[in-house]
């Protein structure tokens, strides 16, 4: 079975930093991309940042210049360095894995359980 383990969430004051980590394992043939999404109470889940196996990155406009996503392809790990955190960054952050189970073209998605990030004074 595929597993995604997230860590690094917590409580931080405005202006502080956190580093989220996500490790994928299991029946994975290859990874197309990994990313971080977040969902605040009463709001829809939104993309925060994503990175492909080739290193191409995407960021939400609200986090550009503050967050940095990186991968370790050999270890199926993706990190999200979050700096200059704001109260509006408060949300549950979810790691997403987009992968293939074999050499075919079919893609699959798997979500982590989520980790809480709270930015408050």
pLDDT at residue 29, as a whole number: 94
Sign of CA dihedral 108, 43, 62, 70: negative
What distance lies between CA 72 and its chain's CA centroid? 13
pLDDT at residue 23, as a whole number: 96
Residue tagged 């709270």 (tokens):
118
pLDDT at residue 62, as a whole number: 97
pLDDT at residue 71, as a whole number: 94
Report pLDDT digits (tens) over 62-113. Answer: 999 999 999 988 889 999 999 999 999 999 999 999 999 999 999 999 999 9
3-state helix, strand, coil in the chain (%, to 5): 5, 55, 35
Sign of CA dihedral 21, 62, 67, 118: negative
**Distance in angstroms (rounded) separating the CA atoms of residues 9 and 115:** 5
pLDDT at residue 26, as a whole number: 94
Residue tagged 């967050």 (tokens):
67
pLDDT at residue 85, as a whole number: 98
pLDDT over 70, % of the chain: 100
pLDDT band at 13 (very low <50, low <70, confident <90, very high): very high
């Amino acid at each position: 079975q595929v597993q995604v383990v997230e860590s690094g969430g917590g409580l931080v004051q405005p202006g502080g930093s956190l580093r989220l980590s996500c490790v994928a394992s299991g029946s994975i043939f290859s990874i197309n991309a990994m990313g971080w999404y977040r969902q605040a109470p009463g709001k829809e889940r939104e993309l925060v940042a994503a990175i492909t196996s080739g290193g191409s990155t995407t960021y939400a406009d609200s986090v550009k210049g503050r967050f940095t996503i990186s991968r370790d392809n050999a270890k199926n790990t993706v990190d999200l360095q979050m700096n200059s955190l704001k109260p509006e960054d408060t949300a549950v952050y979810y790691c997403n894995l987009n992968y293939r189970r074999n050499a075919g073209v079919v893609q699959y998605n798997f979500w982590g359980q989520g980790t809480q990030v709270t930015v408050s004074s």
